[in-house]
Amino acid sequence: MSRHIGTVFLICTLITGAARAALADRRAGDRERENTARALRVYATRYAVSDVTPTYARQTGLACSACHTHFPELTPTGRAFKLNGYVFRRSESLEGKNPEGQQSLLLNLVAPVSLMFQTSYTSTKKALPGTQNGTVLFPDQLSLFTGGEITPHVGGFLQVTFDPQSGQLGVDNADFRFATHATLLSKRTALGLSVNNNPTVQDIWNSTPAWSFPYGSSAAAPTPAAATLVDGTLAQQVAGLTAYAMWNDRVYGEVGAYRSAPLGVQRPLDATATGVIQGAAPYWRVAFPNVWGQNYLSVGTYGMAASVFPAGVVGPTNRFTDFAVDLAYMHSFGSNSVTLDGTWIHEKQTWTAGGAANPTNTLRTFRMAAMYHIGQRYAFTVAPFVTTGTSDDLLYAPAPVVGSRTGSPKNDGLVAEVDVMPWQNLRLQFQYVAYDQFNGSSRDYDGFGRRASDNNTLYILTWLLY
């Protein structure tokens, strides 16, 4: 693992300088939207380096590269757009007024809808038992997106994804916001509310789990067994409300809570449910962004705590408390840029309701992605990752491929990726995942003779957005 971290920090030493890219001060009332537009255009000019969806490009009149380095990684423009509720527009609109002459309707004439299509090829170093190696998924993923401005202060992002195995559509990622501005301690402050379905999906940095690297990974390859609660475990299983504030583009704070709302369940949760949060799970986020020269840096922390029923909705619960720190960095030089996104998560587990051999456990995850962007066409990434924690023979039991012979959650490896974007809405991704350890060891990790390196994965992805 040390050599992987060394690779990243070698890249870090090549990064110098820093970018002063704060939004221009905006007046209240009628001029607020005009100045927001001006600030975004300034960002777009300075950081023309790639979106989540062309929906916003159609609404704003800006190219995908204004808000993204290589999608879905955000530039300062993209972070400002998301923070302000996705409401900036330059497209033609249909307006309506009430009998008092006040504006009561503002709709895009062009429907804010876009399509994502992915197809992929996956090959592991050693085929899974009883399977053919070299898996082609067509589609790998198929999603519809909609979003943007709903009213002058309300906007959103909604991703609906088709599951090829079940043949059904379901809500994937959702983030709807109210945003406004105020003056606090003589400084401009952005204020907002977010309703979303995944802790950190509303975050404006790519260092937190929901939008962190790798942005595309194989669904056909084995993955390590252990994951913390905040690291995707609750995705599409909760509904949350958070309130946030960005003071003077220097201090960001957010607090909120999440309650179980499993995708596809249209009735009260009962004894048949599993993994239900007792009451609501608090969530918090603090970050300190700064810009200087051609650099942008944000250092922050986030976390949540939840008591979870292992089965049903009554009785004892297991407690999970996650504390994390993160870092997001960007350096621009000419048409090129370097980005660095990383996080470290510590989770304390208390197994009052059972399900583990130990009464308490810990789980720790670290990952860091260093990406070099050559213009808008190429990106090269190295990303070490490591998970460690308490050994537990019940939580991490032996089983073919997915189990652990030692009862340890440890995994350690590196992701290397090359991205080619002939167009801003077309990506060709070539990814290789190499494991030093998998589910606790390098050799015979599952108790059935499989090596960690047998799970090394070549993943080739074609990613289209329209």
Q: In terms of C-beta density within 10 A (0-12 exposed, 13-18 middle, 19 or more buried), how is residue 105 classed? A: exposed
pLDDT, tens digit (0-9, with 9 covering 90-100), for 161-180: 987 777 778 889 999 999 99
What pLDDT is recorded for position 103? 64
Range of the domain at 211: 2-465
What pLDDT is recorded for position 271? 86
Q: 230: domain CATH number? A: 2.40.160.10
Contacts of 210 (CB under 8 A, 6+ apart): 173, 198, 199, 200, 201, 203, 232, 235
Q: Which two tokens stand for residue 369?
A: 């992605």
Tell me the C-alpha distance between 396 and 404, whole Å.
5
Return the number of other C-beta atoms located less than 10 Å from residue 90's C-beta.
Answer: 13
Tell me the C-alpha distance between 151 and 135, whole Å.
45
What pLDDT is recorded for position 106? 62
What pLDDT is recorded for position 34? 45
Residue in 175, 177, 138, 145 with CA at minimum distance from that of residue 161: 145
Mean pLDDT by 10 residues, the chain (466 residues): 46 39 37 44 34 53 64 82 80 63 63 88 96 94 88 91 81 94 94 97 96 93 96 94 97 98 81 92 98 95 97 95 97 92 98 96 98 94 98 96 96 98 91 98 96 98 92
Contact 80, 86 (CB under 8 A): no
What pLDDT is recorded for position 107? 62
Q: Give the chain's domain count.
A: 1
